[in-house]
Structures are given as C-alpha cells and as structure tokens.
A and B are shown apart, each in its own frame.
Chain A
C-alpha cells in the first residue's frame, strides 16, 4: 500500500495521460487477443507433427506416402472406436496423418458409446449388420468399402526372442484397404461345385450366404466354379474353396487344383467325414496333402468332455477352444473364444512339416476310424480309439515361392485344411458369443492377403512393459513414496535453518 500523499485534484494533463493509458491497454489487449486467435487458427489449419518414438510408431511409411500421393479419388475412413478404447488415440493419431497427407482422405469419427444414433445409422448405411461390434473402422470409396477389425490393428506376439511384443499393424491395415479399394480388383473366392459342396448362393443349411455377405463389404466376391472336366482354375480366382464335398474329387481334379496352388494360388479345404458303406469316404486330396505333411484322416471326432458339448451326442455339436501354433491363431490363443463345430474329422500335421495346427478338440477328445459302433448302436470303448486327446481339427501352410519367382510379385501359395465344413454354418457365424466368425475371417484374410499389405512391416512394441518381483515393487514404493519426498522435506528444513541462522 502506497503511503505517498495523492493529489486529489489531478490536472487535465494527468487525466489525459490516464485516459490514453487506459485506451492503450484496452486496444492493445484486444489486438493481442485477436492476433493470438488468428495465429491459432492458422496453426490449426497448417500443422505438423513430430514423432519422437524410437520405433517411429506414428510416422507413415514410404509405401503409404506413395499410395496417398497417387490417390485420385475420395476415400472416407469411418473410425468406429469408442474414445474410451485404449488404442483410440494411437489409431486417431495415425489416421490424422493420413488426412494431413492427402486432401482425398476424410476421417469420420463416430463413438458407438456416445453417438449411438449416428453409429446405428452408419451400421445401416455401411451394412455392417451383426458384426458391427467387431468393426474398428470402415474404409469407403465410392460404393466400395472394406472393414477393419480391432485385431487387424495390432497383434500380440509371444514367441519373440526379446520377450512378448506387440505388432502395430494399423498402418498396414489402412493402407492396404485404401489400395485395395482404389487400385485393386475385388478378390474372388471361387467355391467349387459338382461334388455336393456347400452352395455359394444358397443360405441356410449347406449354404454360404452368410459367409458371402460377410465378405462382400470387404471387396471380396464369392462365386461358384466347376472343376469337373476343366483343365485350369480361372485366372481371376484369388482363392479356391472346397467346402463340404460329399463325393471325392477325382485325381484329375486334384491335379488341377494342385497346379493352381503350385502356380501361386490359395486353397481352402473343409472336409466333413462322409460315411458310406460303413466307412469314411476319402476326399481325393490325401496324397497331395500328404506331400505337404498334412493328413486328412478318415476319422470322426468324439468330444468326451461334457463341458464342451453343445448337445447330447459326443459326435455332433461341440466346442473347440484350444488354438494351435499357426500365426493366424495367435489372437485366439489369448482369448480362447469358443469355436463351434459339428461332426468333424481330424486333420493332423506330421512332425517336420512346415504346416501349423489351427485348433484342436479338448484333451478328452478322441478320433475314431472304426464307425461300426455308431452305425450299429453298440457300446463304444474310447480306450480303443485311433487317436486320443487334443484331436487336431485344422492345419494351414504357406509354401515357399518357387525359385524363379519373387515373393514380392505375389506368389503366396497358402493352404488351409479344416476337418469340418460346419464351421461356416450360418447360425455359428452369426452367434457373437462364438469365435466362428472371427476364425473364418482370419483364415480368409490369411489366404487373401494382398501384396500391398505385406509391403508395410508391422512396428514392434514391447508388451511386458515392466518385469518386477514383489521385492522390487516394495523397493520402488519406498524410494518413490518415502525417500524422494523426504529428500525434498530435508532440503526445506535446511533452508529454514539457513534462514534462522
């Protein structure tokens, strides 16, 4: 408080100076506010991001930048993640970079939790149907669109030398989707016919309508082809699917498919055990698959763990929740989602084969080649089963590219063999509690993987952020909660004593 005597009668000059100072203050302040608003508006419109992470997690790869530079049509990416999702910020950050790089990219963020009506309208508009909850984003250009699921964005890996890591695959998923929509032709799944296979056009029992409808929004066309009497699989087939044949393929037909695979094609085989004359029919593919180290066994699988049965019979509907060592099954190893099957046969990987097991029945399951007790209704003794415990039900293999071919040029050559076609059953695919939809999507994605997708390697992030024993944790708590604040307090006491002295 000033103690100097104030002049009660200020002169006109002082008044004038005060008025000028007041006006200067107000005008200057207003101008400063306006300048700051303008600067921020400009910064908002023209900005730049710096990625300081050691793995450059948020820096777009050259492949993506190239794809965005060449983009000549509008692409809208609908981000359908809840803002509460832990990955939301990272994915949003990455997508913002896409939008910054190209004026053709529009990002629409729709939070399913907070914008329910908008989300439902989009589900309807984008025809997401029952699988909407699993969709993290939809990439749309014109009338074509493709879906990206949460597990497409990142995959945990537990087999690395450096311990568990996380493959950040979001960029690969988004760039792949953009390239696929704007440059790529639709992928074609060619479903064989002529052997009593499941129909690509029909719905209901032995119909693939649900599978087809699920793939269409992902720019995948499902169509029927004939293999009887043909010498070659049509060139446009991205993969051939043989689903639930009731009669064996002839040697000539298998040779056609074998040539297709050797030439760079992808093959999905799903065989139910077909009983005829008291025996299980062979499929016609046994010899070919045996050369790859995969045995499609003439057995039926009995699930003897009552907890895994969906009905009364151990050979009918049951659950498999043991996932194998194949790369496509890694996300499921963690989740152990139930995969529903019905009347399956075993598919075994031979030791030394490059193939990987996809999934197995429970440790109590058995595979039986002698079907007489089931046909005659006599008592069955599981102790005499052909194979006992963890009966494998599917296998997948990636063949090495031929020597004169460069893998970059697209020769993938992948084969998936399933011991049950009912995995494609419509009620199983549509039941959110079951893993069928996810497993089928993962296997189809594995077979249809685009070259553009493989060109962007995933970025690895360490999964086990902290490795500590309980003693370590106690020690850290002591240092952080006691020693550090105590040090600050002692400094304060020293300062106090210093002042007193």
Chain B
C-alpha cells in the first residue's frame, strides 16, 4: 500500500509540475463555464424553467459536458502506463520491490486526483447559484458523489487502455472508443423499447448523472461504476503481471 502511495505522489508531482494539467484544466473550465453560462441565462430569463428542473441538474444535462469528459478522461489517463512502457521505465518499475497491484493502484489514485481537480473549481458554480437562488445542498452532494463514481469507472478504463496500449496515442484512442461507445450505447435507452431500454438504462451514464444531480443515489449505479472500475483495475494488474513474464 505504501508503494502505491509513493507511485501516486510521484505521478501527481509529474502531472501537476508539467503544463499539460493546466492546459486541460483551462480548456475544461472554458467548456464547463460555457455550459454553466448557458444554463444561468436560460433560468434567469425563463422563470418557468424552474418548474421542472434545477440549474444544477440542467447543467449536468448539457451535452458539451459529456463531450468534454469523453475527450479529457483518456487524455488524463493515456500517459499513466503507456508512457512508462514507451520510455522503457516500466521494466525498471516491474523489477522494483513493488507489486503490480501497487503500481496500478498508485496510478489510479493519481488519476482520480486529476479527475477531482478538474471538478473542484466547478463548486464555484454552486456558490454563484446560492447567491441568486435556492440551492439544494443535498442534491449538490449527490451530484458530486455521482461525478466521483463516474470518475472511478472512467479513470480505471483509461488506465486499462494505457496498460494495454503500446503508445500514449493508442491508449487515448482505445479509451475514447470504449468510453464513447459505452456512452452512446447507454443513450439507446431513450430510443429503444423495453426491455432493451431497461438494460441500456443500467449502463446509461448520462441518465445516471441526471439522476444523481436530481438528488437521488441508486445502489445499482454505485455497484455499476465501482464494479466496472474494479474490473478494469484488476485487468490492468493482470496485464502488468502478464508482461512481467512475457
């Protein structure tokens, strides 16, 4: 476990010490800010909008947010293992007295830190909303728990792609394809009939986030995201273990 934290600290120092983190953060804040601004304008101009929605919930329904997530999640994770492998440092790491589990877990902690760092500035939006209207803090908490769970799944998938791929670009493309494919598949809930729609609702990340932003946390969503993350992390460990012998 200690090894995992050492690796996580090293990874975070490398990421936040470079410029990449801030470029991603700046672009993300522009995208998230544009979506937020659109929501604020809409709610400020049309009082009736509040009849069926809250600004926070409307913000989590903005497609631009998900497009950004599907782009940034692979960017955040692509270098985690693929870069080590590309630069030849992975072999050294594998011969060091740390287990593959510690390596993967450490990288995952670092990735989650990046993810949460992306979302932390958006709490400023909540502060703004509370100045001009009522904000249901319970629903805010639920929404950010949803974000954290979504991050677990996405970061773990990105990490697995990084473990599988030979280069950062391939890792990013692989993660984007899998995450976007799963995202689009989930949207099928809105177009297909039951019972298929019910199955797709189970994997519909957009629906999960909408529900969390409404203030509802469902054990099915928790299990889905955490088990998906656990599976990806386990597979990433197996890939590293396999490479150790290959």
- Chain A interface (Cβ within 8 Å of chain B)? 1-4, 17-18, 21-22, 24-25, 28-29, 32-33, 36, 39-40, 43-44, 47-55, 57-58, 83, 86-87, 89-90, 93, 109, 114-115, 118, 154, 156, 164, 166, 462-468, 472-473, 476-477, 479-481, 484-485, 487-489, 491-493, 495-496, 498-499
With A25-B238, A480-B128 already in contact, the answer to whether A465 and B216 are too (CB < 8 A) is no
Bitwise, B34-48 to A at CB < 8 A (1) or not (0) is 101100110110011
From DSSP, what is the main secondary structure of chain B's interface residues?
helix
Binding stretch for chain A, among B49-57, B62-70, B107-115, B173-181:
B49-57
Q: Which 6 A-B pairs have the closest CB atoms?
A: A492-B22, A86-B52, A53-B215, A465-B50, A43-B223, A52-B138
A115 and B22: CB pair below 8 A? no
B133 and A467: CB pair below 8 A? yes
A57 and B245: CB pair below 8 A? no
Binding stretch for chain A, among B2-10, B73-81, B225-233:
B225-233
Query: Complex Cα distance A488/B23, Å?
Result: 8
A462 and B217: CB pair below 8 A? no
Query: Complex Cα distance A83/B216, Å?
Result: 18
B47 and A164: CB pair below 8 A? yes
Query: Complex Cα distance A489/B28, Å?
Result: 11
Residue of A24, A115, A481 with most chain B CB atoms under a 10 A cut-off: A481
A162 to chain B, nearest CB (A): 9
Chain B residue nearest in CB terms to A470: B44
With A2-B91, A166-B51 already in contact, the answer to whether A489 and B26 are too (CB < 8 A) is yes
A46 to chain B, nearest CB (A): 8
A57 and B215: CB pair below 8 A? yes
B128 and A465: CB pair below 8 A? no
A25 and B19: CB pair below 8 A? no
A109 and B194: CB pair below 8 A? yes
Q: Chain B residues near A29 (CB, 8 Å)?
A: 234-235, 238
Chain B residue nearest in CB terms to A17: B245
With A89-B211, A114-B191, A485-B30 already in contact, the answer to whether A479 and B133 are too (CB < 8 A) is no
B239 at the interface (CB under 8 A from A): yes
A462 and B134: CB pair below 8 A? yes
Query: Complex Cα distance A484/B138, Å?
Result: 25
Residue of A87, A462, A488 with most chain B CB atoms under a 10 A cut-off: A488
User: Which residues in chain B, 192-218, are within 8 Å of chain A measured between CB atoms?
Assistant: 193-194, 202, 207, 210-211, 214-218
Q: Chain B residues near A476 (CB, 8 Å)?
A: 37, 40, 128, 132
A25 and B242: CB pair below 8 A? yes
- Chain B interface (Cβ within 8 Å of chain A)? 16-19, 21-23, 25-26, 29-30, 33-34, 36-37, 40-41, 43-44, 47-55, 86, 88, 91, 121, 124-125, 128-129, 132-134, 136-139, 141-142, 190-191, 193-194, 202, 207, 210-211, 214-220, 223-224, 227-228, 230-231, 234-235, 238-239, 241-242, 244-246
18 contacts between A and B (CB under 8 A): A3-B88, A21-B241, A29-B234, A36-B227, A39-B227, A50-B216, A50-B218, A52-B138, A52-B217, A89-B211, A164-B50, A465-B54, A477-B37, A479-B124, A484-B121, A488-B25, A489-B22, A489-B26
Query: Complex Cα distance A484/B238, Å?
Result: 41
A401 to chain B, nearest CB (A): 33
B63 to chain A, nearest CB (A): 15
Chain A residue nearest in CB terms to B239: A25
Q: Chain B residues near A156 (CB, 8 Å)?
A: 51
B36 and A462: CB pair below 8 A? no
Query: Complex Cα distance A48/B121, Å?
Result: 31
With A3-B88, A462-B133 already in contact, the answer to whether A36 and B230 are too (CB < 8 A) is yes
With A18-B245, A484-B33 already in contact, the answer to whether A50 and B217 are too (CB < 8 A) is yes
B235 to chain A, nearest CB (A): 6
From B43, B216, B238, B242, give the contact of A58 (CB < 8 A).
Answer: B216
Q: Chain A residues near B30 (CB, 8 Å)?
A: 481, 485
Query: Complex Cα distance A49/B207, Å?
Result: 15
A21 and B227: CB pair below 8 A? no
B129 to chain A, nearest CB (A): 7
A499 and B18: CB pair below 8 A? yes
Chain B residue nearest in CB terms to A485: B29
Query: Complex Cα distance A33/B51, Å?
Result: 43
From B88, B134, B190, B211, give the contact of A2 (CB < 8 A).
Answer: B88
Query: Complex Cα distance A498/B13, Å?
Result: 13
A114 and B193: CB pair below 8 A? yes
A40 and B227: CB pair below 8 A? yes
B25 and A466: CB pair below 8 A? no
